[in-house]
Amino acid sequence: MAPRVKDEYVTMSETGSENGTASSSSPTVSRESSSSDLKAKGKEDTDQAQKFATLQDRAKAPNSLYLSLTLILTAHFCGDIWSTRVVTNWSNSMMDGAIITVDTLKYLRDLTMDALQGNVKNWLEFGQVCVFTGLVASLLYVLLIAPFRAGFWTGSRSTKHKMHRYMGLAYLLQYFMAWAQYLANYESAKDSYLPHAIALNGVIQGYSAFFSFKVLPELEDPGYYSDKAVASRSFVHENIFFSMMAVFGSMYYNDEFRHNLKSHPAGQVVEALFVFFPYIAIRTWFPTTRFSNAGKGRMGRTKKNELFYEIGTKMVKFFYLWAKYFLGFFINFLVYLEAPTESQWKFLHGLYLLNLGTISIAIFLHTLRFKKVLPAKLTFSIYLLQIYATFSAIPLAYDMFMTHKLLCCLCFTGILLNMTRSRPIHGVWCCAVFYLLKFHSDIAW
């Protein structure tokens, strides 16, 4: 910008007037810059320097990255994950999921032929299959077909941020394969390392987005709960914390990983940090966006969708409280006590897969809205349906809650204390629960 400003001064001095027109009464002489000119030039140079410095600052690795690497690598070391059998297990799970998918397509083909020929013997089964197939096909269209048609992974759009794009595609493919294996072959899925690979992929996606899209605004408004605003960079950074929680969950809900973690002193420290003190020892390393600031940015919400997003934001806020204490703390406390039964473990593994998808796929839905691939209200509605699908599991979890009433009381107390919005009070609750479960595990929690 500086050379261009200098050329403007030359033109003005040659014409002899500040508005660039010729003057017959003034000789063509060089004019010295006025104080206002110098101030304007200095401000422009300063703005450019600040912009350059800001982009340089944004390119720096945040402290949360070093914390993430330290915790994840320590957990891997203590969990004894460094072996070729983990890769073999992952590849077998992917192959198993692919075979199940092909077999399911063949089954649907045969069922359709029977329906066309009038040979369907069980219409109830046929109806259930149609509904389930419709739901899966809709999700496939939203998450894979529509982005493919928009050129997310092909064409001119795919020339930038290639790692981020194709790691996102890998995440989606692995996620679908994990669900296929879980639904059709749970005995293999319960010991699979595929969920762990998906969770790691999610963390990589988070940091890839953080470093790739440095121009995103640093706002207190998350930008997610609106139909016009772009996601705040702080929101993208904040989301990495939840991806890290998912990585720990993928290890903690695997019997082999968990037992290896518990048998190592450093692993016990990692376990305590994630099970009892995640919002005290880890969460504080990441930025915080507030639901109260949602939609308050300059480019927030259109007036016609204001009520829709206000209700949706309140629904997300309510879910967050429920998820934080009963999908997070309660389940981790239960696993810490080694209390889940075989049937409960199957439920917990399915619930984990559902929650795993809400983290990274939520950001992807926002991208589809921002890129105008899908309507804003549709993508946000899908996100709400995705997170509230966990409430459908309450009847299945009823026995688990009733068996561990004291644990439910502890978590409900945590929700009440959370209303104070005081981190010290939350810290006291965390310490109290740690003491009770660590040194009084003989109580029938």
What is the rounded average pLDDT for all residues in the chain?
83
> Minimal CA–CA distance to 272: which of 356, 347, 192, 333?
333
pLDDT the model gives residue 74: 93
Average pLDDT, stretch 329-337? 94
pLDDT recorded at residue 299: 65
pLDDT at 45 over 80: no
pLDDT one-digit tens code per residue, 309-323: 889 989 998 888 888
- pLDDT, mean of residues 410-438: 93
Confidence of residue 33 (pLDDT cuts 50, 70, 90): very low
pLDDT at 19 over 70: no
Whole-number percent of the chain with pLDDT over 90: 44
Q: What pLDDT is stored for residue 205 in this prediction?
A: 92
| pLDDT on residue 288 | 85
Q: Between these two residues, 417 and 46, which has the higher pLDDT value? A: 417
Q: Is the pLDDT of residue 3 over 70?
A: no
* pLDDT, mean of residues 289-306: 76
Across 22-36, 42-56, 189-203, 291-305, which has the greatest mean pLDDT?
A: 189-203
Confidence of residue 117 (pLDDT cuts 50, 70, 90): confident
- Does residue 6 surpass a pLDDT of 50? no
